[in-house]
Structure 1
Amino acid sequence: MKSIKYVLLLSIAALTLQSCNLLSAAGVGSQAQPVKEVTQPLTSTTANSAVNVNHEQWTGLLKTFVNDKGLVDYKGFKKNEQELDEYLDMLASKDPNNDWSPQELLAYYINLYNAQTVKLIVDNYPTKSIKDISGAWTKGRARVDGRELSLGGIENGILRKMNEPRIHFAINCASISCPKLLNEAYTAAKINEQLDQVTKEFINSKKNEISAKNPKISSIFSFYPKDFKVDGEQDIAGYINKYSTTKIDAGAPLTYKEYDWNLNEQ
């Protein structure tokens, strides 16, 4: 009888561990990474962090292989994969911790997500869509101080918990309907201005059809509705109105556009 109980306890423990691992892979957990909430309004500064990461190598790659429309030359990245690997190795050598400022953490994880997504496509090139790659968001692949983080974990377990919804317009999922990949690295010194830039650009782009009475908006707003708040309350239209040149009327029904997962290739 005792042996049966022991086996049952072991089975329960194994299932619990497996569940935790699945949750972490899906991005529910922070994967043992520090999470700092952004104090709004966010200011750009390097003065409040024990570490300032140099992302110039990533900027060089982006300016070379990403055009003004945010479309990516993946063939070019593949030919220069060693330089991409060097940048990812540099990020992997860092140990983000509570001595890092929210600005530095935001820049680090946004750049890590974007660079690792490019690496994912390069490693599986040619491909028509990131969705054709097994475990694209759930497999541990982004190395950080000996750990391997999933893309889903970086987005959902870390960045979304930092109280900065503009991250949704900064991270790029290698797809046509995604916000465009900015052709410079995010840095703590410019993070607020960069996030404002990409948010305004995305909301006012053709990826949304903003009108007063019948707005048709990106499915990103339906993927993460609770993230878009005004005065602490969920308000997608109100959030869009903060950045849109055309304002949505109060109470206007929102229609969500079909998401195009085809590769954002030049």
Structure 2
Amino acid sequence: MNTPRRAMLLLAASIALPLRAQQGFDHSHGAWTALLKKHVVLLRNGQASQMRYAGMASDHAALKSYLDSLSAVSVSSFASFGKPQQMAFLINAYNAFTVELILTRYPKLDSIKDLGSLFSSPWKPKWVPLLGAKVSLDDIEHGRLRERGRYDDPRIHFAVNCASIGCPMLREEAFVAERLHAQLDEQALRFLSDRTRNRFADGKLEMSKIFDWYGEDFRLGHRGITSLPAYLARFADALADAPADRERIKAQKADIGFLDYDWKLNDAR
């Protein structure tokens, strides 16, 4: 084979390999959706959910296969994904590896916190094989999804699920790039419509502790919103029933308090 032709073939191969790696990954996350549809139980008209961990344990081979597909994605392939694809990948990875973490001790635990200790949390150990390294769940959430300047989207807090009753629901399908923004908007509305975790009562807003822990994320200018009261004003109709209370929230004049977080396992026993 002459040298120019050989060089052209090598160049074509070098371009095709990363493209093939990207195309080889299932961005529909179909395997994860199949598991979620089978084992997620919706509560309160879809405002909350529980997981059938016993059933997921029976389907562990399918879960492991999906996790392996996530772990097989290289750093260069991930970099070639569009931002919605990256966000969907990371959110699904966080949720699926969290389920895997629960199964390491299920049914002998009442909370994900049982997997930690007085000196360490279950989110700190670097055991997740992802993007060419062993990372922690915190690395996925805080190091990537919340990293300033990367996505700057507070709605991720309504999508990642920490296997706890107090956490926004585990969605009954995978997040996918094509519908990501609609899915995130729906997750936000579902969570803020759940009066067990967010409500206007006794003359003030009583909100999930998530808005206290991550309040700064709701001030980053997403959709032009630069304060937590301004963000909550968009959900006034979900948070209150009385017209006067709704107007108070919309006017950003409602005091805001935070509820205790329920760390009990979101298990559908």
TM-score per shorter chain, which class? 0.7 to 0.9
Does residue 183 of the first structure (1) align with residue 164 of the second (2)? no
Amino acid across the alignment from 1:200? L
**Cα contact 2:163–2:265 (8 A) shared by 1:** yes
Does residue 117 of the first structure (1) align with residue 91 of the second (2)? no
**Cα contact 2:70–2:130 (8 A) shared by 1:** yes
1:174-232 deviation digits (Å, cap 9, x = unpaired) = 00010010010000011011000000110111210135941100000001010012756
Q: TM-score, normalised by structure 2?
A: 0.76
Aligned residue for 2:231?
239
Aligned residue for 1:26?
none
Equivalent position to 1:130, from 112, 116, 120: 112
Q: TM-score, normalised by structure 1?
A: 0.77
Aligned residue for 2:11?
none
Where 2:50 maps in the other structure, the secondary structure is coil
Aligned residue for 1:71?
50
Q: Distance in 2 between matches of 1:155 and 1:98?
A: 17
Aligned residue for 1:104?
85
**Cα contact 1:66–1:181 (8 A) shared by 2:** yes
Aligned residue for 1:12?
none
Task: Give the 3 Å change call, closer, same or farther, for CA 244–113 of structure 1 in structure 2.
Answer: farther
Does residue 56 of the first structure (1) align with residue 30 of the second (2)? yes
Report the Cα offset of residue 236 of structure 1: 1.2
**Cα contact 1:112–1:142 (8 A) shared by 2:** no
Report the Cα offset of residue 160 of structure 1: 1.1
Equivalent position to 2:67, from 77, 84, 88: 88
Task: Give the 3 Å change call, closer, same or farther, for CA 92–244 of structure 1 in structure 2.
Answer: farther
- Which stretch has the larger CA shift, 135-144 or 106-115? 135-144
Report the Cα offset of residue 241 of structure 1: 1.7
Report the Cα offset of residue 242 of structure 1: 1.6
Where 2:125 maps in the other structure, the secondary structure is coil
Structure 2 spans left out of the alignment, 5+ residues: 1-21, 44-48, 241-245
Report the Cα offset of residue 95 of structure 1: 1.9
Aligned residue for 1:140?
126
User: Larger helix proportion, structure 1 or 2?
Assistant: 2
Where 1:173 maps in the other structure, the secondary structure is coil
Equivalent position to 1:170, from 159, 166, 169: 159
**Cα contact 1:199–1:243 (8 A) shared by 2:** no
Where 1:210 maps in the other structure, the secondary structure is strand
Aligned residue for 2:204?
214
**Cα contact 2:152–2:220 (8 A) shared by 1:** no
Size of the aligned set, in residue pairs, is: 217
Aligned residue for 1:225?
215
Q: Distance in 1 between matches of 2:113 and 2:225?
A: 32
What's the C-alpha RMSD, in Å, of the aligned pairs? 1.8
Amino acid across the alignment from 1:131? K
Task: Give the 3 Å change call, closer, same or farther, for CA 194–212 of structure 1 in structure 2.
Answer: farther
**Cα contact 1:110–1:167 (8 A) shared by 2:** yes
1:73-104 deviation digits (Å, cap 9, x = unpaired) = 00111111111100000000012433211100
- Which stretch has the larger CA shift, 77-86 or 135-144? 135-144
- Structure number with bigger Rg: 2
Q: Distance in 1 between matches of 2:133 and 2:54?
A: 29
Report the Cα offset of residue 141 of structure 1: 2.2
Where 1:143 maps in the other structure, the secondary structure is strand
Aligned residue for 2:261?
259
Task: Give the 3 Å change call, closer, same or farther, for CA 129–193 of structure 1 in structure 2.
Answer: same
**Cα contact 1:227–1:234 (8 A) shared by 2:** no
Structure 1 spans left out of the alignment, 5+ residues: 1-49
Report the Cα offset of residue 144 of structure 1: 1.5
- Which stretch has the larger CA shift, 59-68 or 127-136? 127-136
Q: Distance in 2 between matches of 1:156 and 1:118?
A: 18
